[in-house]
């Protein structure tokens, strides 16, 4: 199991190695709470009056949509090929499914569904 390794130069800047796991592609990372699928967000440097500061520069977990600082992750593993394909397909399915369904429905049926959804939202808000 590869350890997350980086170096700090004399000025205190963090130097990350090239390639995985810091290439932005999904990997498995070990957090205190367990393993999660994540990618490295290298962020960007922002200039302030006190000097430059990194924004982003964190692990972004794909399932729970939370972030983790560099030093909270100590181990990583490549995401297995089947899991990577499943992740890509999951993202595609979410965007294509609703559109394909809407194209198959008649305008009258889409209108009925929209009215029903609006009624449900108003009922949920207590505004019936």
Please check the confidence at residue 32 and state whether its pLDDT lies above 60: yes
The answer to the question of residue 1 being in a domain is no
For residue 16, pLDDT beyond 70: yes
92 or 113, which is more confident?
113
E strands, 1-128, in order: 7-8, 14-15, 27-31, 34-41, 44-48, 51-55, 58-61, 67-68, 75-78
Q: Is the pLDDT of residue 90 over 70?
A: no
Quickly tell me which residue has 């009215």 as its tokens: 115
Query: Are residues 47 and 95 located together in one domain of the fold?
Result: no
pLDDT of residue 13: 76
- Residue 76 clears pLDDT 60, i.e. is over it: yes
* Residues 55 and 99 both lie in one domain: no
Residue 62 sits in the same domain as residue 102: no
- Shared domain check, 97 and 118: yes
Q: Establish if 68 belongs to a structural domain.
A: yes
| Same domain as 61, residue 115 | no
User: In this structure, are 38 and 71 located in the same domain?
Assistant: yes
One domain for residues 75 and 95: no
Do 55 and 106 lie in a common domain?
no
**How many domains are there within the chain?**
2
C-alpha R_g of the chain? 22
Domain that residue 39 falls in:
7-79
Is residue 71 within 8 Å of residue 58, measured between CB atoms? Answer: no
- Max mean pLDDT among 80-84, 90-94, 108-112 falls in 108-112
Taking the CA atoms of residue 1, residue 69, residue 66 and residue 21 in that order, the dihedral angle to the nearest 10 degrees is -40
What tokens does 76 get? 């990583």
Q: Same domain for 18 and 62?
A: yes
Q: Do 20 and 63 belong together in one domain?
A: yes
- Quote the CA–CA distance of 78 and 46 in Å, as a whole number: 31
pLDDT band at residue 18, thresholds of 50, 70 and 90? confident
Same domain, 32 and 68: yes
Average pLDDT over residues 86-111: 72
pLDDT average, residue stretch 36-51: 76
Predicted pLDDT at 95: 57
Judgement on whether residues 21 and 55 belong to the same structural domain of the protein: yes
């Amino acid at each position: 199991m590869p350890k997350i390794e980086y170096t700090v130069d004399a000025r205190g800047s963090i130097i990350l190695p090239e390639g995985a796991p810091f290439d932005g592609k999904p990997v498995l990372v070990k957090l205190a709470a367990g393993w999660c699928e994540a990618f490295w967000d290298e962020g960007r440097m922002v200039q302030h009056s006190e000097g430059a500061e990194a924004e982003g520069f964190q692990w972004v977990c794909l399932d729970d949509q939370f972030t983790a600082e560099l030093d909270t992750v100590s181990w990583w593993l490549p995401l297995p090929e089947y899991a990577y394909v499943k992740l890509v397909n999951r993202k595609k399915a979410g965007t294509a499914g609703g559109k394909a369904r809407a194209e198959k429905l008649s305008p009258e049926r889409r209108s009925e569904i929209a009215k029903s959804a609006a009624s449900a939202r108003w009922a949920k808000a207590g505004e019936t």
